[in-house]
């Protein structure tokens, strides 16, 4: 099986083996601590695949959190916490825990400084059981199994991000862990197994407050014309529509100046006669107009939602003589 690209590392954490075994492996910079801070998890996925037990169960969890400013130069690091699910196993022994853990890194693994919660070592580009090659392999012996296993990772020259370590290998697996010293019902003789996942690590769900936006359709009046014709003491208003969508009717408003205060003249709304596919003709007569005064008129259409739109103004000046000539 071919390894992944060199810019993708596989880091394996193993419980410390004998010095003799370490002679032919590449050991990365590793230190141990007695107390390790557990960072808040930013994403978490389940190890639900196994090389020896049924798939689909949650055998463990891999959680990743950001170590903000915790590395040299106040750079950001990443913490990986691997937790075995003890409740899934029938029994667990006194030395139950994780003995191996593999993961990938999107950069150069030689740049990483890895600290674990036990006396574990690191190898690069290791083939881990049926789950393929991983760039980093942390490992230990049976006497140094961990549950949980806590891994702190820094890069002395740059900030790290959680996404740097959510990288699948060539076979599509994101992480793999070897858990030992247990029994599992129906699987006699199986006391250790490898576990992995093809699930991606997604950020935790954010709380979204639902909002409702109500958009009321605007009045859809297609107006062909709106005119004012003066005569003796009156003004005839005429308008023609081409289409009327959701229209209820019209009002006529009058003012004595173009930018003056407009007052509604009709006592009741002038009902619609058109529709969405045809228009109509309308007439309204202002019978209280005074001669030799110029009036300004606006047409208001109102829809079924209570919204309206104004058209105009148009103007006219009633005169006595206009009444004679317009007869």
Give 40-56 pLDDT, tens digit per residue.
667 889 999 999 999 99
| Predicted pLDDT at 16 | 35
> 262 and 144 in one domain?
no
pLDDT at 20 over 90: no
> 41 and 188 in one domain?
yes
Structural domains of the chain, count: 2
88-105 per-position pLDDT tens digit = 998 888 889 888 899 999
Going by pLDDT thresholds of 50, 70 and 90, the confidence category of residue 206 is very low
| Predicted pLDDT at 124 | 80
- What is the 3-class SS of the chain, one letter each residue? CCCCCCCCEEEEEEECCCCCHHHHCCCCCEEECCCCCCCCCCEEEEECEECCCCCCCCCEEEEEEEEEEEEHHHEEEEEEEEEECHHHCCEEEEEEEEEEEEEEECCCHHHCEEEECCCEEEEEEEECHHHCEEEEEEECCHHHCECCEEEEEECCCCCCCHHHHCCCCCCCCCEEEEEEEEECCCCCCCCEEEEEECCCCCCCCCCCCCCCCCCCCCCEEEEEEEEEEEECCEEEEEEEEEEEECEEEEEEEEECCCCCCCEECCCCCEECCCCCCCCCEEEEEECCCCCCCCEEEEEEEEECCCCEEEEEEEEECCCHHHHHHCC
> 180 and 68 in one domain?
yes
The verdict on residue 114 lying in a domain is yes
Q: Which of 296, 223, 298 is nearest to 253 (CA)?
A: 298
| Predicted pLDDT at 325 | 54
Going by pLDDT thresholds of 50, 70 and 90, the confidence category of residue 207 is very low
The verdict on residue 157 lying in a domain is yes
128-184 per-position pLDDT tens digit = 887 887 766 676 667 778 888 899 999 999 999 988 898 889 899 999 999 999 999
Single residue among 144, 164, 197 that ends a domain in this structure: 197
Among 64-73, 130-139, 296-305, the minimum mean pLDDT is found in 130-139
Single residue among 197, 228, 244 that ends a domain in this structure: 197
pLDDT at 3 over 50: no
> 255 and 306 in one domain?
yes
The verdict on residue 303 lying in a domain is yes
Average pLDDT over residues 117-121: 76
Going by pLDDT thresholds of 50, 70 and 90, the confidence category of residue 301 is very high
> 119 and 24 in one domain?
yes
> 174 and 34 in one domain?
yes
> 245 and 107 in one domain?
no
Phi, psi angles (nearest 5°) of residue 228: -125, 130
The verdict on residue 2 lying in a domain is no
> 173 and 73 in one domain?
yes
Q: Please state, for a pLDDT cut of 90, what percent of the chain lies above it.
A: 44
Q: Which of 113, 135, 112 is nearest to 5 (CA)?
A: 135
**Burial of 262 (C-beta count, 10 Å sphere; 0-12/13-18/19+):** buried
For residue 242, give its domain range. Answer: 220-325
| Predicted pLDDT at 35 | 47
> 306 and 184 in one domain?
no
The verdict on residue 1 lying in a domain is no
Cβ pair 111, 175 in contact under 8 A: no
Cβ pair 79, 67 in contact under 8 A: yes
282-298 per-position pLDDT tens digit = 999 999 999 999 999 99
> 269 and 128 in one domain?
no
> 119 and 31 in one domain?
yes
Mean pLDDT (the chain) is: 80
**Cα–chain center distance at 304:** 37
191-203 per-position pLDDT tens digit = 999 999 998 875 4
Cα separation, 98 vs 16, in Å, equals 12
> 224 and 171 in one domain?
no
Q: What is the CATH number of the domain that holds 314?
A: 2.60.40.10
Cβ pair 123, 133 in contact under 8 A: no
226-284 per-position pLDDT tens digit = 999 998 989 999 999 999 988 999 999 999 999 999 999 999 999 999 888 889 999 99
pLDDT at 23 over 80: no
């Amino acid at each position: 099986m071919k390894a992944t690209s060199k810019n993708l590392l596989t880091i394996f954490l193993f419980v410390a083996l004998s010095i003799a075994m370490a002679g032919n492996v590449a050991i990365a910079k590793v230190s141990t601590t007695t107390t390790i801070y557990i960072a808040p998890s930013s994403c978490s996925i389940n190890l639900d695949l196994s090389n020896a037990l049924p798939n689909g169960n949650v055998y463990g969890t891999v959680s990743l959190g950001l170590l903000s400013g915790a590395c040299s130069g106040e750079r950001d690091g990443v913490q990986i916490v691997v937790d075995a699910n003890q409740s899934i196993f029938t029994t667990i022994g006194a030395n139950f825990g994780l003995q191996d853990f593999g993961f990938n890194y999107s950069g150069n693994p030689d740049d990483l400084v890895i600290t674990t919660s036990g006396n574990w070592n690191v190898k690069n580009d290791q083939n881990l059981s049926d789950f393929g090659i991983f760039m980093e392999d942390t490992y230990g012996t049976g006497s140094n199994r961990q549950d949980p296993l806590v891994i702190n990772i820094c890069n002395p020259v740059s900030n790290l991000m959680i996404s740097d370590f959510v990288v699948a290998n060539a076979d599509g697996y994101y992480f793999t862990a070897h858990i030992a010293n247990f029994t599992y019902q129906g699987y006699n003789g199986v006391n250790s197994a490898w576990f992995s996942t093809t699930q991606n690590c997604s950020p935790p769900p954010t709380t979204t407050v639902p909002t409702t936006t109500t958009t009321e359709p605007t009045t859809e009046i297609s107006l062909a014309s709106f005119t004012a014709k003066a005569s003796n003491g009156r003004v005839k208003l005429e308008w023609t529509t081409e289409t009327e969508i959701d229209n209820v009717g019209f009002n006529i408003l009058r003012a004595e100046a173009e930018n003056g205060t407009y007052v509604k003249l009709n006592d009741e709304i002038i009902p619609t006669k058109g529709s969405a596919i045809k228009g109509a003709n309308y007439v309204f007569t202002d019978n209280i107009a005074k001669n030799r005064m110029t009036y300004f008129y606006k047409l208001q259409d109102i829809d079924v939602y209570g919204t309206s739109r104004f058209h105009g103004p148009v103007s006219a000046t009633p005169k006595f003589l206009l009444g004679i000539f317009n007869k």
